Structure formats: structure tokens, C-alpha cells
Amino acid sequence: MSNEQKKIPESKIIEIFISTIQKVWEQNSYGELKVHFDPLKNQLGAYRIYQIVEQVRDPSREITSSNKLLQNKQAKIQRNCLLLPVNLKEIINCKEILPSFRKALQKYYQTEWYQTFLPWQGKIVEGTFREVHSQHCLVDLLDQKKIGYWEKNEWLPGDIPQLNQSRRFLVKEVKQADSHSIILTRRDEKFLRKLLEIEIPEVAQKKIVIQTILRLPGEISKVIVRSLEPIPNLLGVCIGKGGGRVQNIVQEMNSERIEFVEWQENKDKMLVKLLAPLSEKEISIYQSPNYKNKIVIVPASKKSLVLTSKGKLLRLIENYLDLPVKIQIRTSEEMNQVRKNKTFFKEKLN
């Protein structure tokens, strides 16, 4: 038995052992058994239970007054039952008892452990790398009371775990019966959300709401926020004095770029906000004649900023805004070529 299992109270071990004996006895069709523990003698006792009835259907099963079972001085009658002592040594030697007892202990321990650690699910904890492997790490958690499992697909880009190094993790899941019961993550969006709550108290206090996060893990996250009460300089509050709050998050996220965007009800205004770091003066949005595209004109020197990761961020923005059209990024120079051939713009949207 492991050291953790040895912490099970003695009274509970006795209870589980008694329950195991009774279950194995009944499963083998030996009838009903009552096992009890005498704390004064510090020993177990057992009685086989017979029901007292007026008549039995099978005469061969009838116990009469002349039966030697009734000659036992330890026989008892309780209510409508006859209790006859059983030699526990014969029972405990049964090959099924000990394996069943070990399984019952393990099940009890797992249940107790699960109930203890389940409240940690969804929380950030600090852990120290105990073992580092190519595809996973084992992490000491909660003052080495438990081991967490951190699979490589839950690593952030740039994570390079080293033995005895300490890092912060999100407890993604607590499993009741598994070889790896505490599943850790640093890549999951919930990890970023929890960091935001920790570093920006107004988020934890529900004064600032994170509407959604448009994220390319390891590269950039655009955190769309709104306030439930008037907050002067909402984005400044999120960033923190001297950028301190956001820098703490960026450092924990291995330099993933974190940008805060204030939510706008109007989709075109929201689109402009999401195209930061470009300013509103640098952006013009037009509708194409066939209404199939929104044409966003940006300075040539800033076009690469908008097309982060080959346009993947732009696709996230399209999906978030639920646009029925595609967004196309063009420079003024590119659009001048179009103007020479035909009128491209239907209407200016901003």
C-alpha cells in the first residue's frame, strides 16, 4: 500500500475490510453474513444469518432443535434471525478476499482524492518539474502532495521545461480513475483568461468583462473587453501603469503579443479597432460593387502587420464579426491600379 493510502483512517480500513468479506461471501452464494469488530478485544467476529420461518419448502434445509448448529453456545437469535458463528480464519484465507480488499481500498482512496482535488480544476497552480520527457512532463504540485501530467500538446510555443524548474499551470481536468489524474495546460485559452483575472483585478471583480479572445497561440491574442460601469481609459487600466500588467502576462505567455481592444457594437467600427496597431486615420473601409468583399485600405508599410500569420488572424476576425463577406487588405497603390480599369468601390463604410 502506498504512503498516501496509509493515511486512510484505521476505522475506515476496518469498515472496508468488513464490507469486502461480506460481499465476497454473498457473491459466492454462501448466504448472508454479518461481520463485526470488537474494539475491546481488537478482533473481528462473524455470524452467518438464517431467517426463522414457520415452514421451509425444502425440508433438507430445515434446521431443527436437534441440529448441532443450535448446540453452539455462541448462537444468537435476533428478531426473526438465527445468528451462528463462523470461523473467520477460513473466510480470510479465501483467495478472493485480499485482492478484493485492495481494490476496495484503492477505490476509496481515489474517491477521497478526487473529491479533495476536484476544486482545483480550472485554477492556476505552481508546480516544479519532477521528470522531463520529450512528449510529456511530470510536475510536483501543492507542496509535492500530488503529481500533475503536462502533455506536449498543452505546452506553449517556446516552453522549454527543465528539471526542478517552477512554472505556473492551469489545472485543465481532474480525473477520478486514470494513471494520470491531474491534467495540466499552459496552451489552453482558459490559462490566459485566468492570468488576466490575476493581473487585472477589475476583471476578477467583474467590473471589466472579457467579451472574447481572438488568439493564435504563441503569436498574438486580441482580448476584446468592455466595462459594466464607467471606467475612464479602459484599455489603460488593462495594460497597467507603464504597461506593467500586460508585461507580466506576456512574460508568462512566452512573449505572446497581448493586445486589448474595446468592444464596439457597430461591426465596421469593431473591425477598425481589431486592426490595431493601425490607427483609424490609417484605415479606410469600402464595400465592393458585388457586395462580396469589404476592402480595407492600409498604408503599404503597415500591410504586413494586418496579415499576421498569412492572414490567419484576419480569418479569426471575420468569424468573430460573423461577416457575410470576405475582408481584403489592399494598399493605396494597389487600389490605384484598379481605379485605372474600373470603378471598384460601391460605398465608403467609415
pLDDT value of position 279: 79
Give the separation between CA 110 and CA 177, rounded to whole angstroms. Answer: 7
Cα atoms in the Cβ-side hemisphere of radius 13 Å centred on 192:
29
Are 154 and 187 in contact by the 8 Å Cβ rule? The answer is yes
Residues 307, 292 within the same domain: yes
The closest of 120, 247, 129, 253 to 187, measured between CA atoms, is 253
The closest of 200, 316, 183, 309 to 249, measured between CA atoms, is 200
**Residues paired with 331 in a beta bridge:** 298
The closest of 28, 47, 43 to 86, measured between CA atoms, is 47
- pLDDT of 256 strictly over 90: yes
User: Which has more pLDDT, 79 or 295?
Assistant: 295
pLDDT bucket at 132, cuts 50 / 70 / 90: very high
The two most distant CA atoms of the chain are separated, in Å, by 119
Residues 68, 100 within the same domain: yes
- Calculate what percentage of the chain has a pLDDT beyond 70: 80
Residues 63, 135 within the same domain: no
In the listed set 64, 95, 115, which residue is the last one of a domain according to the structure? 115
DSSP string for 112-141: HHHHHHGGGTT-EEEEEEEEE-SSEEEEEE
pLDDT value of position 233: 92
pLDDT bucket at 2, cuts 50 / 70 / 90: very low
pLDDT bucket at 30, cuts 50 / 70 / 90: low
- pLDDT of 350 strictly over 80: no
In the listed set 158, 187, 216, which residue is the last one of a domain according to the structure? 187
- pLDDT of 176 strictly over 60: yes
pLDDT value of position 128: 95
On the question of a cis peptide bond just before residue 299, with omega within 30 degrees of 0, the verdict is no
User: Which has more pLDDT, 185 or 349?
Assistant: 185
Are 332 and 297 in contact by the 8 Å Cβ rule? The answer is yes
- pLDDT of 50 strictly over 60: yes
Residue-averaged pLDDT of the chain: 82
User: Which has more pLDDT, 54 or 252?
Assistant: 252
The closest of 253, 273, 250 to 263, measured between CA atoms, is 273
Stretch 87-96: mean pLDDT: 71
pLDDT bucket at 207, cuts 50 / 70 / 90: very high
The closest of 71, 72, 51 to 62, measured between CA atoms, is 51
- pLDDT of 67 strictly over 60: no
pLDDT value of position 160: 94
The CATH number assigned to the domain holding 151 equals: 2.40.50.140
pLDDT value of position 61: 56
Residues 21, 106 within the same domain: yes
User: Which has more pLDDT, 42 or 84?
Assistant: 42
pLDDT value of position 101: 85
Give the separation between CA 29 and CA 297, rounded to whole angstroms. Answer: 83
Domain hosting 161: range is 121-187
- pLDDT of 99 strictly over 50: yes
Instruction: Report the length, in residues, of the chain.
Output: 350
Give the separation between CA 112 and CA 133, rounded to whole angstroms. Answer: 30
Are 243 and 232 in contact by the 8 Å Cβ rule? The answer is no
Residues 172, 205 within the same domain: no
Residues 245, 167 within the same domain: no
Residues 168, 224 within the same domain: no
Element (H, E) at 98: helix 97-117
In the listed set 115, 147, 171, which residue is the last one of a domain according to the structure? 115
Say what the pTM is. Answer: 0.69
- Calculate what percentage of the chain has a pLDDT beyond 90: 37
pLDDT value of position 5: 44
When divided into structural domains, the chain yields a total of 4
- pLDDT of 165 strictly over 80: yes
Stretch 16-37: mean pLDDT: 79
Give 189's contacts (C-beta < 8 A, 6+ positions apart): 213, 215
| Alpha helices by DSSP H, 253-349 | 267-274, 303-306, 312-321, 332-341
The CATH number assigned to the domain holding 194 equals: 3.30.300.20
The closest of 261, 253, 254 to 213, measured between CA atoms, is 261
